[in-house]
Structure 1
Amino acid sequence: MNLHLEIFPVITVLAVTTVIAGIKFFTNAKPLDDSYSATLAAIVCSLLFSTSANATNGYFMDGVGPKAQSMTGVGIALPQDSLAAATNPAGTALVGNRLDVGFTWFNPDRSARIKGNLAGADGNYNGNGVSAFVIPEIGYSREISTRWSYGIAVYGNGGMNTDYSTNPFAAFGASGDAGVDLSQLIVTPSLAFRPTPAHSLGIAATFAYQRFEANGLQPFDNAFVSAQPGKVTNNGHDSAHGWGLKLGWIGQLDENVTLGASWSSKIETGTFGEYAGLFADQGGFDIPASYGAGISWNASSALTLAADWQRIEYSDIGSVGNSLNLLFQGNPLGADGGPGFGWSDVEVIKFGAVYALNDTVTLRGGISHAGQAISGDQTFINILAPAVIKNHGSVGAEWRTGLGEWLISYTHAFEEKVAGSGSIPAAFGGGEADLTMSQSIIRFGWSSGF
């Protein structure tokens, strides 16, 4: 098993921070004294340069925080920790004073099959050159008064990695490994207000930092295919960043039923200049807008049921939503309005449950279903990004001790296949590309209130 090694410095920093936080909590130290603030700053800086992730709902992660992850990401109307602001900033008003640290281990299995190709590309291709990834996250929230609260959440938004040691494009003139590496890191400072005890409103800025690299795409790196040859492949990692906005509301209808709604704006991150000949709009790769609604119901003193609906607007981002077919209509890669990966918008439905087994142990579980972002006629380019997963199932447990809350969850993204349908253009020898992906996710967390 290969591991994404660049993440180890981040794990070390977060582990040290967890120990420091525990010591300070149990010695009644001030939660944000100078040394503590410096440690948090170090975590944020490390995350900015080290986070990596893989696809779940499209390329967005299905949940942020160990508690939400153990319910396949449910959380719009059910905030459970300081990382809730990633889903709904109104939740910052409802979680109290707390610190939450999490680690996610991803193990994706992605592959492609080419058949009926006249150029000789037929074969089965394994994209698991890097097979495991570790992603940290951290959240902090604090009440200013009975009405006002603030917080910060730092987490991976999502991403995609493929590494084909046997290059699927070799028959067309490619050499070396083929694949892409996309990772997105979000820093979300939030402010929440409770106009009444039953309602909360939240607003958050979203700073996004993203990195991208592509390798082994030489057949696309020429003047016949790209508007900017030399800016398509094998240029190392490039980065871009930008700002967005999150808004949210949570309202308690009665003592047992709560509703929520949230919206995240599109984040214009600037361009990947080193890949201006690959992505539409001269290297554009903005982060799409998303929005959703949720409900939670206290079915009993021990059981809470919750559900979310979410929509992610991938089609609004040219490099993601534009069809590859534009390439054969006089629009080269990298051009304004040029070809992309042909993704559709994705709607996700999530269901989750929380059961307090006793005063010490709480159990969680959930399932989710997403629409398919990739159609059969767009599978050829998506060999690089086979984000075809639709269904998830999660289970998790929380154990409360004198040293804080300890959490673990397991999520399985069930194997999904998309068969090509007129997917490989005649200029590349025709035939079909079929995509397959599944994924296992283990998440660990530690939390404490103060």
Structure 2
Amino acid sequence: MNVRMHVLRGATLLALGTALPPAQATNGYFPHGFGLKAKGMGGTAVAQSHDAFGGVNNPASVSYAGNRWDLGAEVFMPRRSATVSTPMGAMEVKSGKDSFLIPELGFTTRLSGKLSAGLTVYGNGGMNTEYPAVFPGNSNFMCSSPTTCGTGKLGVDLMQLIVAPTVSYEVAPGHALGVSPLLVYQRFKAQGLQAFGINNPGTDDSTGVGLRLGYMGKLGDAVTIGASYSPKIAMGRFKKYERLFAERGDFDIPENYALGVAFQVSPAVQVALDYSRINYSGVKAIGNASLANFGNGFGASNGPGFGWRDVEVVKLGVQWQLNPQWTLRAGYNQGTNPVTSPDVFLNTLAPGVIKSHITLGATYSLSDKDELTFAAWHGSKNTVSGSAPAPTSIGMSQNGFGLQYSRRY
């Protein structure tokens, strides 16, 4: 027990010292999956317990993950672009900042016969863009006339770090309930929005506390089911941006939930299917329509937002135990696009419009305690067009890969 407590304490310190993860954007601004095993299987994880990322995937899975820790990093490479017609002509611009290194950390331990604990550190984000100054006079393209342009580079940067200590209890053989308090720190910066009365105030941050609940149940030897739920997390306001986000700078984390099932179709092959929903519309800064609320003024409770709809995602994954050393994975992730035509113009700042991903992954066992996991994925380009206040189209695609080292003890 003392050894486990020392490991848990060390993992907590490492989590608190981890650099804030750069922005991601896949299923809206949530990643397509958490943990590299899940990322290689299309993001499926709700009914699986093959790593220590239960704090984000399903807290109840900690009961069956064993004593282990997982440490890794991924390289995330989004490609964002916008084409805008202005009084100075139509112009396509591409966002910079197209390569990010993102760390990840998970830890689990069994405290007694039925009680287990863990720690997960993960990030959300995705409202990350940096378009160059493209007009004479150092003005950017987000303008309706030469006198209302912003100046300099245009873009936003949202990052969220979530530390999730987890407790899970096996209430009956093969059935567990879990809970993860979510300790959240988020950071935001915008530039080039002088046209909206935001004169590059710099970086601001806020904090909040949330919760994730989970259930996992084994229906015999071949079928496992799972469910995970996190209510909306009330975050502190971005005071420097109270004239940008609805409700005077309020930017909460949306309610989200997931259901999953995993089938052991043979001793070597498992197939998993997850459904998840992210209720972006419940956060006014994200869900309020942009043009329809423009006259109410930025920062008002009913002021403009990004107009994002709720996102529904179906994830399908398969893994094959090829031999004692190698496990191979593949997956597909299909989600809905949160951005519709009336809100395209403002979403040049946050073009999180990808709908589909294909994924691959593998784990190599170095020994009976140590393993290396690799995953790679591609988010197919999706483009959305709108006509007001200027003809605009936005598009995004992405690639990513990562490596994770895991150790059981």
TM exceeds 0.5? yes
In structure 2, the residue corresponding to 1:94 is in which secondary structure? helix
Alignment deviations for residues 39-78 of structure 1 (CA, whole Å, 9 cap, x no partner): 434422222x532122110000111111111112101111
In structure 2, the residue corresponding to 1:122 is in which secondary structure? strand
Determine whether 1:179 maps to 2:155: yes
Runs of 4+ in 1 over 3 A off after TM superposition: 29-33, 36-39
Alignment deviations for residues 150-173 of structure 1 (CA, whole Å, 9 cap, x no partner): 101011123321000132226432
Aligned residue number for residue 217 of structure 1: 193
AA at the equivalent of 2:257 = Y
Aligned residue number for residue 84 of structure 1: 54
Aligned residue number for residue 103 of structure 2: 136
* Structure-2 separation of matches of 1:41 and 1:354: 31
The two structures, once aligned, show a CA RMSD in angstroms of 1.5
AA at the equivalent of 1:44 = A
Determine whether 1:448 maps to 2:404: no
Determine whether 1:124 maps to 2:89: no
The structure 2 residue matched to 1:248, chosen from 207, 214, 220, is: 214
AA at the equivalent of 1:133 = F
* Structure-2 separation of matches of 1:275 and 1:58: 22
Structure in which a larger fraction of residues adopt helix? 1
Aligned residue number for residue 321 of structure 2: 356
AA at the equivalent of 2:311 = V
Contact in 2 for aligned 1:165/1:178 (Cα 8 Å): yes
* Structure-2 separation of matches of 1:130 and 1:38: 34
Aligned residue number for residue 41 of structure 2: 71
In structure 2, the residue corresponding to 1:281 is in which secondary structure? helix
AA at the equivalent of 2:115 = W
Structure in which a larger fraction of residues adopt strand? 2
Q: Closer, same or farther in 2 for the Cα pair 1:188/1:38, shift >3 Å? A: closer
In structure 2, the residue corresponding to 1:43 is in which secondary structure? helix
Summarize the alignment of residues 280-359 of structure 1 with structure 2, pairs less than 5 Å apart. 280-328=246-294, 330-359=295-324
Alignment deviations for residues 172-213 of structure 1 (CA, whole Å, 9 cap, x no partner): 321110000001111111111111112111111011111000
* Structure-1 separation of matches of 2:199 and 2:57: 34
In structure 1, the residue corresponding to 2:3 is in which secondary structure? coil
Distance apart, 1:30 and its partner CA = 3.3
* Unpaired stretches in structure 2, ≥5 consecutive residues: 134-139
Summarize the alignment of residues 35-434 of structure 1 with structure 2, pairs less than 5 Å apart. 39-47=10-18, 49-115=19-85, 117=86, 119-120=87-88, 122-127=90-95, 129-166=96-133, 167-169=140-142, 171=146, 172-221=148-197, 232-328=198-294, 330-402=295-367, 404-420=370-386, 422=387, 424-425=388-389, 431-434=390-393
Q: Closer, same or farther in 2 for the Cα pair 1:86/1:292, shift >3 Å? A: same
* Structure-2 separation of matches of 1:382 and 1:254: 47
Distance apart, 1:114 and its partner CA = 1.2
Percent identity of the aligned residues?
A: 39
TM-score normalized by structure 1? Answer: 0.86
Contact in 1 for aligned 2:8/2:107 (Cα 8 Å): no
In structure 2, the residue corresponding to 1:414 is in which secondary structure? strand
AA at the equivalent of 1:435 = I
* Structure-1 separation of matches of 2:20 and 2:354: 25
Contact in 2 for aligned 1:71/1:364 (Cα 8 Å): yes
* Structure-1 separation of matches of 2:36 and 2:288: 34
* Structure-2 separation of matches of 1:158 and 1:80: 25
- Aligned residues, how many? 398
Contact in 1 for aligned 2:261/2:272 (Cα 8 Å): yes
Contact in 2 for aligned 1:53/1:183 (Cα 8 Å): yes
In structure 1, the residue corresponding to 2:53 is in which secondary structure? helix
Aligned residue number for residue 22 of structure 1: none
* Structure-2 separation of matches of 1:350 and 1:59: 16
